[in-house]
Amino acid sequence: MKLLIDTDPGVDDALAILMAHAHADVVAMTIAAGNVGLRHTVANALKLVEVLDVDTPVHPGCEQPLVLPAADAAFVHGADGFGDTGYDAPQRLASGEHAALAILRLSHEHAGELTLIALGPLTNLALALRLDPTLPGRIKRLLIMGGAVNGRGNTHRVPAEFNIGFDPEAAHVVFSGWPMVELIDWEATMRHGLDYAELEHWLSADTAEAGFYAAISRRTRTWALEHGRKRLLSADALAMAVALDPGIVSEAEERHVGIELAGSLTRGATVVDWDDRMGRPANARIILAVDQARFESLVRSGLDRTTRK
């Protein structure tokens, strides 16, 4: 499987990226601002490439959302986006090619073969789509981690999830310009949490990936426990599991999804037409449930490849 990852690493992005490199040919990573600023998300992606000892290209993207500024998620991920562990700066260098242009170039080089997964705000993908509206025809699958299909989001705008809420205009461009996306939302993430003790056991593996992830995730695991989360929620890891093994999906529905841009309480909401009241064609396959055991197996193999099935 050829995978192109657009991401704002970010601790859960990091787990998804480790999973991807354990199971797929990652042709490149294009980097968004989101969890933290672009300077950190690019450095974090480069550090992961170094820890993995691979030569995956890293393409910096947009520093800001398309229209309005947005707050980051440093309170969860740390000021540097990787738990403020003070890791040694990566020696690897980022590409000089912009993320949006890399997405278009790679869509031609690997026409019809790429699985594109978006794990952060959709700014880069929106720009690529505006530059070339024929992009969807060359992409095999587009998966998006984002949204809250029944309005239970994770930001101060209650129905908005972070990735969509960070750049709603970009999400509107993508959802209105792409025929069919696979959507893994925050509510599915909440249904598929990870057991803290199990994760601790997986993190005790004697691998570079497990050691690095144990360090950068310590702060988010502590934060989650202190905020009463019964299980660790790893949205990007869930989305990556669906990308890597579509067969783990046990329940999904195709519906039209629109993005709210103007609501004072609802800007960034993913509005799902569950009863087809607007008569618009479905543009999203909403993933509602997956096989939990197979999801956890994919997570574990990202930390310790000897456990790969």
Restricted to residues 70-99, the positions that interact with Ca ion (CB under 5 A) are none
Is 39 within 8 Å of 33 (Cβ atoms)? no
101 binds ligand RIB per the rule CB under 6 A: no
Of 13 and 185, which has the nearer Cβ to Ca ion? 13
- Based on CB atoms, which residue is closest to ligand RIB, 76 or 210? 76
Residue 194 lies near ligand RIB (rule: CB under 6 A):
no
Phi and psi at 41, nearest 5°, equal -65, -35
First to last CA, the chain: 16
Partners of 290 in the beta sheet? 249
Minimal distance, residue 186 CB to ligand RIB, in Å: 5
Least spacing, CB of residue 162 vs ligand RIB, in Å: 4
Task: Give the CB-nearest residue to ligand RIB.
Answer: 162
119 binds Ca ion (CB under 5 A): yes
CA dist 32 and 6 (Å) reads 7
- The answer to whether 175 contacts ligand RIB (rule: CB under 6 A) is no
Q: Which of Ca ion, ligand RIB, none does residue 80 bind to, with CB < 5 to 8 Å depending on kind?
A: none
Residue 6 in contact with ligand RIB, rule: CB under 6 A: no
Please spell the DSSP secondary structure of 135-178, one letter per residue: GGGGEEEEEEE---TTS--SSSSTTB-HHHHH-HHHHHHHHHH-
- Total residues in contact with Ca ion, by rule CB under 5 A: 6
Among 8-16, 40-48, 87-95, 261-269, which window interacts with Ca ion (CB under 5 A)? Answer: 8-16
Give, as ranges, the residues between 71 and 100 that touch ligand RIB (CB under 6 A).
73
β-strand partners of 284: 181, 255
Q: Which residue in the set 235, 248, 252, 290 belongs to the binding site for ligand RIB (CB under 6 A)?
A: 235
Q: Is 119 in the site for ligand RIB (CB under 6 A)?
A: yes
Site for ligand RIB in 153-172 (CB under 6 A): 154, 161-163
- In the complex with Ca ion, the residue whose CB is nearer, 239 or 286, is 239
Partner whose footprint covers residue 283, from ligand RIB, Ca ion, none (CB < 5 to 8 Å by kind): none
Q: If we measure between CA atoms, which residue out of 69, 287, 91, 295 comes closest to residue 169?
A: 69
- The H-or-E segment that residue 13 falls in is helix 11-23
Cβ neighbours for 267, distance < 8 A, ≥ 6 positions apart: 157, 160, 165, 168, 260, 261
| 8 forms part of the interface with ligand RIB (CB under 6 A) | yes
Contacts of residue 239, defined as CB under 8 A and 6 or more positions apart, other chains included, come to: 16, 117, 119, 143, 144, 145, 184
The distance of closest approach from Cβ of residue 199 to ligand RIB in the complex, given in angstroms and rounded to an integer, is 16
Exactly one of 5, 6, 10, 173 binds Ca ion (CB under 5 A); which one? 10
Q: What is the dihedral of CA 122, 126, 132, 134, to 10 degrees?
A: 70
Say how far apart CA 167 and CA 171 lie, in whole Å.
6
Q: DSSP string of 80-134? A: TSSTT--PPPP-----SS-HHHHHHHHHHHTTTTEEEEE-S-SHHHHHHHHH-TT
Please identify, using beta-carbon distances, which residue of 62 and 110 lies nearer to ligand RIB.
62
Give contact residues for ligand RIB (rule: CB under 6 A).
8, 10, 12-13, 34-35, 73, 119-120, 145, 154, 161-163, 186, 235-236
